[in-house]
């Protein structure tokens, strides 16, 4: 009878060990799947971030180009306006500023 109980205990212990091994394998597979899924998500997010960065850079370049064109256009307009001023007008403008700069005037 003791042998039967001992046999049953050994049998149950073997079954428990088998179950533990099965659970370990299942846990390992679950962990590997979770890791793979996380890596895939990171790659997808990285691609999205790179695309967003590239889009932002393109927009910034476009905006910078447009601003530069506007500055150049305004500078050209101002240069044309100044070129049209006569020498007498320019002399008067310069004299007004020189008077402000010179001491004792």
Q: What is the pLDDT of residue 11?
A: 92
Q: What is the pLDDT of residue 103?
A: 78
Q: What is the pLDDT of residue 105?
A: 58
Q: What is the pLDDT of residue 6?
A: 86
In the predicted model, residues of the chain with pLDDT beneath 70 are 1, 105
* pTM higher than the cut 0.85: no
Rounded-to-integer distance, Cα 9 and Cα 29, Å: 30
Q: What is the pLDDT of residue 13?
A: 94
Q: What is the pLDDT of residue 53?
A: 98
């Amino acid at each position: 009878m003791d042998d039967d109980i001992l046999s049953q205990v050994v049998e149950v212990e073997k079954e428990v060990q088998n179950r533990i091994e099965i659970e370990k394998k299942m846990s390992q597979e679950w962990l590997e799947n979770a890791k793979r899924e996380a890596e895939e998500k990171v790659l997808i997010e990285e691609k999205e971030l790179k695309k967003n960065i590239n889009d932002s850079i393109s927009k910034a370049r476009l905006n910078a180009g447009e601003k530069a064109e506007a500055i150049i256009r305004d500078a050209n307009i101002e240069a044309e306006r100044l070129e049209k001023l006569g020498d007498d007008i320019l002399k008067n403008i310069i004299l007004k500023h020189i008077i402000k700069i010179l001491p004792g005037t």
